């Protein structure tokens, strides 16, 4: 990735933002000494936030580079919804298994 252009730097910051949004619950869980409902919430928020970050990245790439990638708007939204669904299902599974 070339960081000497505005587009390259923007892409770098976008990926960094996706990582921060995606992994903040796991970092908070590693740093904080919590138990009970707060721990369950942080564990369940892990896959939800990671998949939310990927869904945002897919939407951004789909709208910016959709023609070059040969993605339709429907395909872009379908992939984003799929990632959100996977994140919610993973979060629910971890919420109920952490009992």
Which pLDDT score, from 0 to 100, does residue 15 have? 83
Which pLDDT score, from 0 to 100, does residue 75 have? 93
pTM of the model: 0.76
Mention every residue, 6+ apart, whose C-beta is less than 8 A from residue 59: 76, 77, 80
Render pLDDT for 46-86 as a digit per residue (tens, 0 to 9): 889 889 888 988 998 898 888 888 989 999 999 999 999 99
Q: Strand, coil or helix: what is 94?
A: helix
Sign of the CA dihedral running 40, 42, 43, 48: positive
pLDDT at 32 over 80: yes
**What token pair was written down for 56?**
């945002």
Render pLDDT for 15-30 as a digit per residue (tens, 0 to 9): 888 888 888 888 888 8
Which pLDDT score, from 0 to 100, does residue 1 have? 59
Name the residue with tokens 């721990």: 39
């Amino acid at each position: 990735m070339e960081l000497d252009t505005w587009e390259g730097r923007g892409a770098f910051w976008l990926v960094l933002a996706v990582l921060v949004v995606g992994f903040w619950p796991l970092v908070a869980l590693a740093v904080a000494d919590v138990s009970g409902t707060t721990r369950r919430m942080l564990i369940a928020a892990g896959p939800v936030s990671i998949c939310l970050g990927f869904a945002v990245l897919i939407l951004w790439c789909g709208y910016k580079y959709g023609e070059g990638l040969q993605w339709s708007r429907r395909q872009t939204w379908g992939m984003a919804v799929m990632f959100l669904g996977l994140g919610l299902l993973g979060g629910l599974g971890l919420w109920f298994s952490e009992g």
